[in-house]
Structure 1
């Protein structure tokens, strides 16, 4: 449970997310940034509940890909899986560039402005974590315990320092947590869309369910705890940035706003302290993101909805080595291309919005899937009605509303990356449907018929904590 909770926290990458995304959030909603995070957290917990309830019925490395396909429609399930694959692959670029910049700035702040050099250094970090993920889940967890443990300790310690040292700025205002500073429904949707990116990544616990002991219970509870932890960190740091930095400082800091906050609170020490925390967070989330995308590709290869080679697993390490290699090559090509065009801030800003669109798709579909899977149980108790029905449905409606409400505010690159990336998935979907993949003729997922313990579904064994032997 503890290790899985750490993976959930690492998946949301608190240090990286605060640093890379705060400028984007402030640019979208200004002083309403704390409110955007607060009001997005309520429906997001509904999606976390949806994953937990679905995981109790069907522990699958594909997570939303499997659940949506077996409850709503296989086409929608494939698009949910594809949305995760595209968003995580894009994130490799959005994460590697800041990782390179942060590493260089530890030696010479001027070097951080060289996008090409930052891309090369970021690629080095990415290759290190690629090797860790390739060598098995046990090494991945041990590495994550070290990286995320130090990261969270630094972030919490700096919050204490911020309270002690202060730094001037404006006083806290309760209006920052209200609706008054949003520019209508469209403005609220823009802020909530960015806030969705903050919370993204905790669902790695579900992608690891076939490799987790007692996963039907562990994955869902660990995700809830992890999201609670990162929400507190996100809200506290967003309030601190709003109090201590001006909008100009936030915009100037761009994807490195935590360093600016550190310098404002504790010149000469605070900035470097937070650079280390963000660097650790970025490197740590490479690992969880790689796990998410490669386990999803493994499930899709196993179901023959993508090339079957993606479903191959290394005999010694018990990892989907073909999927890991493919993701590594694609991400490196995209990263080096991004290093040739635009600044780090521009790349990260466009990537955050594009990824958020794709997150809304597969989170929203998962929220609907749990209602369908538990439809026969919703009226059996208040608990089922709330946790398997009302709250997940609220989360689903919220994120899907954000998706459609935000379409009119997209820039050209954001629309191309976000919507174009989703559209490409239609090609393999119809190709493998025409080839007769059994995924497109699934058994219906019904929570009322689910039983505890090992089960065989679609010819694949799902033993909690024993999937490595079934690979």
Structure 2
């Protein structure tokens, strides 16, 4: 079809790379570790481990649902098919909102890292950080418009370098600080009984921000070889890598840094650890890893946004212009320009907050709740659709029904508890952003009904490249 995304452009390796890059290990640690440790202290490694186990239930849901239908809209398409179009619309809309908010929390660390390398005196200048962040957002968007094949190749190189640097830092810190730890860690801190319900929910919502993004591998299914199988497998393999990396580095950060050091490090926890391990300029390898990670997660978040918007617009759930593809590069360029513009606008609005740390905290918490919502919908959809398979084997009962459903319950319960503890602006951003979807839902109802009456693959928008 002339209006299809680029077919067979990605392999299993690309799916794993995209899944890892989507979570942006170095960026997530830098942007969020101080917030997580501030919330749960020495229970941070356990929070990440348990959140990883919860997330595996959603990963299994995505694997099985992708075999049911390989659709770039992922949770939007599956929830629409299994439950109804309204719930499906909000599953996709929530991802769009979270991705847009992420343009702020992703680009600010990139701006920080760039200034730390080029002009350290401006690192604490919020206007300078914001302008550099906008520059990164525009540059990454232009690369993505160029097409998925180039993006996949660039992403593979960046992710390999990032993981290598992170591994070196983790091993070196464990060997050096283990005997003289800043915090005393014990196996008992990994027990569920170490948490109160409120502490678990608070840690889970923040930890969810670490893991969000692995599902980009599935959003790229229409552009991946063996689209029904490889994207889901790639997402699962990526989850193994990132759960191990996050849990290990949380322990390393607690071993290497005291509470005041972690608090003062803010969005530069990785650099603070590296600075204690290696003399400068070698410690600046951590800054390089952060820049690569941030660029990578910017790419994957924009990919998720544009592929979800492409799928929804193709179905008539949003205006058809957002499904137009570039004539040569087969990329949804209008959708890419949209999120770049929205991201720049939000970055400018973030100047109204008092300091970078306040902006990051608000966006991290809001995104965590929104991700819990649409991941949870996918988990429930999988459990409901495959409920009859539970009678056939224990494996089907666990992997298709029980684990996805329990993960969905845990995510939604954590989101409800977390929202009750937010300040009013953060709660409004988290919940109001989702409810705002009622506007385009109503505006495009007639278009959806027309598409629903059209045979599959027909009536798609013309190529606007």
The TM-score normalised by the length of structure 2 is 0.92
Between 1:373-382 and 1:271-280, the stretch displaced more is 373-382
Structure 1 contact 166–265 (Cα < 8 Å) conserved: no
Whole-angstrom distance in 1 between the partners of 2:274 and 2:256? 10
> For residues 151-189 of structure 1, what are the alpha-carbon distances to aligned partners after superposition, in whole Å with 9 as ceiling and x for unaligned?
11111111222234438424432233124543x211210
Determine if the alignment matches structure 1 residue 67 to structure 2 residue 64.
Answer: no
Instruction: Name the residue aligned to 2:440.
Output: 428
Look up the SS of the partner of 1:359 in the other structure. helix
Structure 1 unaligned segments of length 5 or more: list them: 443-456, 462-468
Instruction: Name the residue aligned to 1:342.
Output: 354
Look up the SS of the partner of 1:437 in the other structure. helix
Instruction: Name the residue aligned to 2:340.
Output: 328
Whole-angstrom distance in 1 between the partners of 2:447 and 2:390? 34
Matches of residues 39-58 of structure 1 in structure 2 within 5 Å? Answer: 39-58=50-69
Instruction: Name the residue aligned to 1:135.
Output: 146
Look up the SS of the partner of 2:123 in the other structure. helix
Paired residues, what number? 448
Instruction: Name the residue aligned to 2:34.
Output: 23
Determine if the alignment matches structure 1 residue 416 to structure 2 residue 428.
Answer: yes
Structure 1 contact 48–224 (Cα < 8 Å) conserved: yes
Matches of residues 449-468 of structure 1 in structure 2 within 5 Å? Answer: 459-460=456-457
Structure 1 contact 61–210 (Cα < 8 Å) conserved: yes
Whole-angstrom distance in 1 between the partners of 2:247 and 2:211? 11
Whole-angstrom distance in 2 between the partners of 1:85 and 1:198? 18
Change over 3 Å in CA distance of 1:439–1:394 after alignment to 2: farther
Structure 1 contact 165–266 (Cα < 8 Å) conserved: no
Change over 3 Å in CA distance of 1:333–1:162 after alignment to 2: same
Whole-angstrom distance in 1 between the partners of 2:402 and 2:147? 38
Whole-angstrom distance in 2 between the partners of 1:436 and 1:296? 17
Structure 1 contact 33–191 (Cα < 8 Å) conserved: yes
Matches of residues 52-451 of structure 1 in structure 2 within 5 Å? Answer: 52-166=63-177, 168=180, 169-182=182-195, 184-269=196-281, 271-433=283-445, 435-438=446-449
Structure 2 contact 59–236 (Cα < 8 Å) conserved: yes
Question: CA RMSD for the aligned pairs?
Answer: 2.0
> For residues 366-419 of structure 1, what are the alpha-carbon distances to aligned partners after superposition, in whole Å with 9 as ceiling and x for unaligned?
001112222332312222222111111111111011111212101122112111
Structure 2 unaligned segments of length 5 or more: list them: 1-11
Change over 3 Å in CA distance of 1:317–1:409 after alignment to 2: same
Look up the SS of the partner of 1:388 in the other structure. helix
Shift in Å, 1:99: 0.4
Shift in Å, 1:269: 4.6
> For residues 287-327 of structure 1, what are the alpha-carbon distances to aligned partners after superposition, in whole Å with 9 as ceiling and x for unaligned?
10110000001111111111111111111110111111111
Change over 3 Å in CA distance of 1:330–1:8 after alignment to 2: same
The TM-score normalised by the length of structure 1 is 0.91
Whole-angstrom distance in 2 between the partners of 1:339 and 1:156? 35
Change over 3 Å in CA distance of 1:171–1:439 after alignment to 2: farther
Whole-angstrom distance in 1 between the partners of 2:450 and 2:37? 43
Structure 2 contact 317–447 (Cα < 8 Å) conserved: no
Change over 3 Å in CA distance of 1:270–1:351 after alignment to 2: farther
Shift in Å, 1:267: 4.2
Structure 2 contact 198–417 (Cα < 8 Å) conserved: yes
Structure 1 contact 305–439 (Cα < 8 Å) conserved: no
Whole-angstrom distance in 1 between the partners of 2:354 and 2:309? 30
